[in-house]
Amino acid sequence: MLKKLFFNWKMNPVSLQETRNLFSQVILAANNQPTVDLVVFPPYVYLSELSQQLQTTRLANLSIGAQDIASQAFGAYTSQISGPMLKDFGCQYVLIGHSETREAYKLSNQQINQKLLQSLESGLIPILCVGHQTDKTITEINYPELAEQVTVALQNLPTEFKTEFYLAYEPVWAIGTGKTATNQIIEEVSQFLKQELAKLSLANQVGILYGGSVDDVSIQELVKLRQVDGFLIGGASLKPEKFNKIIEIVTTQT
Ligand code: PEP
């Protein structure tokens, strides 16, 4: 099965040269393993450069995306980057409502919904990130919070909407901590998310991803998951030796 791996580089690397070098390693990986589908989310300032680097490869299994999108298409919104701009810069995907972005900008689910509608209007494939913000323990699943994140973010979608679309389950306690959710929790939550999507007639259209400390070690267990369509990876996506191992495991064991 063709698995999708989404590389969230967050606010890294800190120089253009390092970014070029790291992206070259991703290009190499995509070239060597055509059965994996890779998407890289670099900081905004590197999008143009990576888009040009990507064009020279003609790789069909590698794309770039943005880490956020403005709620409006243009206008007096200092510091914001809009969907049409991202599209023009070669982005195909966009992360929406990543927990770090939700926290930094204190985003409401209604604002996430606006961003999502903008992504669809701009022809970008959204990866809507959801996860328990308030959970105190790693075994408790806050279903009402998840349900609200999904239903509010997905309201007022265009009726003719047919694009590819992903929902990434990322428990906040698992992001960047080295702790991953158990396969049992991920399966349970994926099932719940699919039920919520079914209520909106989106169950067959939306892929489910898991994110939270996926690395070359945790992937050995996570790869056994049957309900997820891919992984959103932060820290390990900055280290070629780690992401190459993840790609190897995902492509040989699914
Ligand atoms: C993320 O940034 O979405 C993420 C899951 O990070 P990490 O893999 O480092 O936990």
Question: What residues have CB less than 8 Å from 175, skipping those under 6 apart?
Answer: 99, 100, 131, 211, 212, 213, 234
Q: Which amino acid is at 101?
A: T
In sequence order, the β-bridge partners of residue 24 are none
What pLDDT shows up at residue 134? 62
pLDDT for the residue 164: 86
Best probe residue, ligand 1, of 170, 172, 180, 222 (max atoms within 8 Å of C-beta): 170
Residue 137 confidence (pLDDT): 64
Take atom 6 of ligand 1 and give the residue whose Cα is closest.
234
Query: What residues does ligand 1 touch, defined as CB less than 6 Å away?
Result: 8, 10, 98, 170, 175-176, 211-214, 232-235
∠ CA 238-242-248, rounded to 5°: 125
* pLDDT, position 114: 98
Model's pTM, two decimal places? 0.96
Q: What is the DSSP letter of 248?
A: H
Residue 127 has phi, psi (to 5 degrees) of: -115, 100
Q: Of all protein residues, whose CA lies closest to atom 4 belonging to ligand 1?
A: 234
Contact 89, 48 (CB under 8 A): yes
For residue 225, give its domain range: 3-253
| Total structural domains within the chain | 1
Share of the chain above pLDDT 90, in %: 84
The per-residue pLDDT string of the chain (254 residues; one tens digit each, 9 = 90 and over) reads 457 999 999 999 999 999 999 999 999 999 999 999 999 999 999 999 999 999 999 899 999 999 999 999 999 999 999 999 999 999 999 999 999 999 999 999 999 999 999 999 999 999 999 997 665 566 778 889 999 999 999 999 887 767 889 999 999 989 999 999 999 999 999 999 999 999 988 888 899 999 999 999 999 999 999 989 999 999 999 999 999 999 999 999 87
Q: Measuring CA to CA, how many Å separate 73 from each of 26, 92, 101, 117, 161?
A: 31, 16, 19, 10, 19
Give the residue numbers annotated as catalytic, written as ranges: 98, 170
User: In this structure, what CATH number is given to the domain that contains residue 170?
Assistant: 3.20.20.70
What pLDDT does 1 receive? Answer: 47
